[in-house]
Amino acid sequence: MKIDIYEKVWMIGTGTMLAVFFSVIAYESVAMGRMPPSHVETIDPKTVMADPRFSPQGVRVATDGSVHAHVVGLMFTWLPGEMTLPAGKPVTFHITSIDVTHGYQIVRTNAQSMVIPGYVSQFTTTFDPGDYLIVCNEYCGVGHHTMYAKLKVVPEAEWQAPSTGGTPVPPAGGTPVPPAGGTPVPPAGGTTAATPEASHDH
Ligand code: CUA
């Protein structure tokens, strides 16, 4: 079979390009652990609100100091509606939906992921200080255009690690630290002698 010289050039050229593209994808996924943000982890959409991964929603600090944002999407809002995160520090997002497919997008950043019921989308990114708008970029129903949330990114030194996120874990080897916000102040004019019930009140 005779193949025209130009035909040959095109075949070899496109073949080489495909080979390069596939090697780059293979290298990034294997060596750099770069994966699509969706379908990492599964979850029952009916139990999301009771699941410890999403109850409560919002910002948490793991025992290793890493910052995590746990977000739930539903028609037609993101929970929580407002978050504050530290600038220049990697933040890992865990996002799921309790109803239909939504699209989580933090405008003017590279934070973007499809949010599919039954799956937990996950990605890690860092932010510059500023106020950001979070929108839904996947049509999800009549209220799609009203589905948004706010993100505030402040310098790390000004950032207050949230105390929500379950039981505070004492630092390794150290003494337990009181929760942020200081010691509770007894009510003015109240009894000074605490009753046994009051002393057990958490
Ligand atoms: Cu949610 Cu569009």
CATH of the domain at 98: 2.60.40.420
From the CA of 93, how far away is ligand 1's center (Å)?
18
Predicted pLDDT at 198: 41
Residue at 19 is within a domain = yes
**pLDDT(174) > 60:** no
Residues 87 and 143 in one domain: yes
Ligand 1 atom having least distance to the Cα of 138: 2
Residue at 190 is within a domain = no
Residues 131 and 91 in one domain: yes
**What's the Cα-to-Cα distance from 71 to each of 33, 127, 131, rounded to whole Å?**
23, 17, 18
- Can you give the residue range of the structural domain that contains 76? 41-158
Specify the residue with its C-alpha closest to ligand 1, atom 1.
102
Predicted pLDDT at 117: 93
Report the percent of the chain where pLDDT is more than 90: 66
Residues 61 and 150 in one domain: yes
Count of domains for the chain: 2
Maximal CA-CA distance, the chain: 102
Q: What is the band of 161 on the pLDDT scale with cuts at 50, 70, 90?
A: confident
**pLDDT(165) > 70:** no
Ligand 1 atom having least distance to the Cα of 100: 1
Residues 25 and 95 in one domain: no
- What is the rounded CA–CA span in Å between residue 33 and residue 90? 16
- Report pLDDT digits (tens) over 125-141: 999 999 999 999 999 99
* Statement: the pTM of the whole predicted model exceeds 0.75: no
Are 164 and 124 within 8 A, CB to CB?
A: no
Are 87 and 38 within 8 A, CB to CB?
A: no
DSSP β-bridge partners for residue 82? 150
